[in-house]
Amino acid sequence: MTEVTRGSLAGLRVIEISTSVAGPLAGQILGDLGAEVVKVERVGSGDDTRQWTPPAWDGESIAFLHLNRNKLSLELDYKDPRGQQVLRDLIASADVLVQNLRPGALAKAGFSWEELQEINPRLVYCDMTGFGRTGPKAAEPAYDPLLQAYTGIIDMMGTGDGPPARVPLSILDKGTAMWAAIGVLDALRTVERTGRGVHVGVSLLETAVTWTHANVMGALAGNGKPRNLGSGHAGVVPYGAFPTRDGWAFISAGNQALWTRFCMATGADALLTREGFGSNPERSANRSEVEAAVSEVTRAFDTTALIALLNEAGIPCSAVNSVPDMVDDPQVKALGLIEPMAHAGVQDFEVVNLPITFGGAYPDHQCPPPALGADTDDVLTRLGVGEETIAELRRDGVVASVPDRA
């Protein structure tokens, strides 16, 4: 591994026992910040996302590729007593353990919080669950779309007469990973101060309730279920996606000055004196009529021409782009957020950087997403396991590495 030139976590060791999205992303964030992350994977199959295809890039699962850079892969059966001892030794050498297995699974394997404290009293243990640490559903597994349904997010989406639709991104998994990283960073400071380990808990349910905070407060205030406004905003009109001759434009007229500029720039100044359109409270009360009038205005323009006109007038706006449009956007390119990374199995491989810069630069990368078991022998050797023992463990299927599948 190349030396990390940026990242305050350089020199720390993180053990990641996780699969799917939330745990792997938490590990990747810590790896991006400089930590050595050892990803402990099931012998023979590894992280579930290795098999999540399509989509794929040169045969490699994109789900795995985008969540697992800057890690070492250790293929280990820790249910075998010998594998359990390897994991105990690894945890004893670590600063942080992150896991998102089914609730209780790691404890059942001999690694409860109490047992972890005995192994390593200074350990930061980040325990990621679906429904949280207590309550009637605490022991149940959970997935991002399920929690979107459970917490009202799918209901907020609204599809008219069509079936319910989720947010087509793993927003709760990835949000939970962010909270996990924040919790770990805080816990590391606590360990520095007290010398005692910390149990950090995060869950998809708690992330979802946090993301819907304003709606929760509305419910507490007795406001009931909010209207579904599509791309609109409850308190600002016009705000949202409006049709053009050849697509859609998202327009944010967030105050009276911007509404006036929109009307003047598009030649729709008659709307300024139209009854019920005079102020934002009036426009909110007459939302349907205002949106219909604005749509009539925007349909007279091609998308590119309208965006250029509104930009000139200083009105926040955007074409409703596809992801391929966004990838090629000059602003995204100027940031250097997407950059090449050498990968033995994927030609022209590129990654999206951690979205934080330090002194104007993104953190350096240590390595691409690893092949399953790519670092098994190296990790074991650094734990002091001898060659003969490693060979025995490989023979018996307690550990495995890339050559075992060659």
Domain end among 308, 327, 346? 327
195/267 same-domain check: no
69/135 same-domain check: yes
233: alpha, beta or left, given left = phi > 0 and alpha = psi -120 to 50?
beta
Token code pair at residue 96: 């942080």
Backbone angles phi, psi at 375, to 5 degrees: -115, 15
Q: For residue 120, is it within any domain?
A: yes
What is the structure's pLDDT at 406? 64
Distance, in Å, from the CA atom of 283 to the CA atom of 167, rounded to the nearest integer, reads 28
Q: Is 233 a catalytic residue?
A: yes
Domain end among 278, 308, 327? 327
70/206 same-domain check: yes
- Closest to 46 in 3D by CA, of 31, 70, 68: 68
Name, in order, each residue with C-beta under 8 angstroms of 13's C-beta and a sequence gap of 6 or more.
35, 36, 38, 93, 94, 95, 96
Angle at the Cα of 83 from the Cα atoms of 373 and 99, rounded to 5 degrees: 70
Distance, in Å, from the CA atom of 197 to the CA atom of 120, rounded to the nearest integer, reads 8
112/190 same-domain check: yes
Q: For residue 165, is it within any domain?
A: yes
- Closest to 42 in 3D by CA, of 81, 14, 73: 73
Residue by residue, DSSP assigns 35-75 as -EEEEEE-TTT-SGGGG--SSEETTEEHHHHTT--S-EEEE
Please state the pTM of the whole predicted model.
0.92
317/343 same-domain check: no
What is the structure's pLDDT at 347? 96
What's the CATH code of the domain at 148? Answer: 3.40.50.10540
56/169 same-domain check: yes
Question: 72: how many CB neighbours lie within 10 A of its CB?
Answer: 22
What type of residue is 96? V
Q: For residue 2, is it within any domain?
A: no
| Residue position matching structure tokens 């009036």 | 282
Q: For residue 91, is it within any domain?
A: yes
87/148 same-domain check: yes
90/151 same-domain check: yes
Q: For residue 123, is it within any domain?
A: yes
Domain end among 274, 295, 327? 327
Q: For residue 198, is it within any domain?
A: yes
Token code pair at residue 54: 């399509």
Q: For residue 246, is it within any domain?
A: yes
What is the structure's pLDDT at 6? 63
Helix (H) or strand (E) holding 155: helix 153-157
111/27 same-domain check: yes
Residue by residue, DSSP assigns 267-302 as T-GGGGGSTT-SSHHHHHHTHHHHHHHHHHHHTTS-
Question: 248: how many CB neighbours lie within 10 A of its CB?
Answer: 17
Q: For residue 231, is it within any domain?
A: no
Q: Which domain holds residue 249?
A: 239-327
275/154 same-domain check: no
What is the structure's pLDDT at 1? 41
74/187 same-domain check: yes
Mean pLDDT by 10 residues, the chain (406 residues): 64 97 98 97 96 96 98 97 98 98 95 98 98 96 94 84 88 98 98 98 97 91 80 84 96 93 96 94 93 96 96 95 93 95 96 94 95 97 96 97 79
Structural domain count, the chain: 2
202/136 same-domain check: yes
Catalytic residue, candidates 66, 199, 213, 233: 233
What's the CATH code of the domain at 252? Answer: 3.30.1540.10
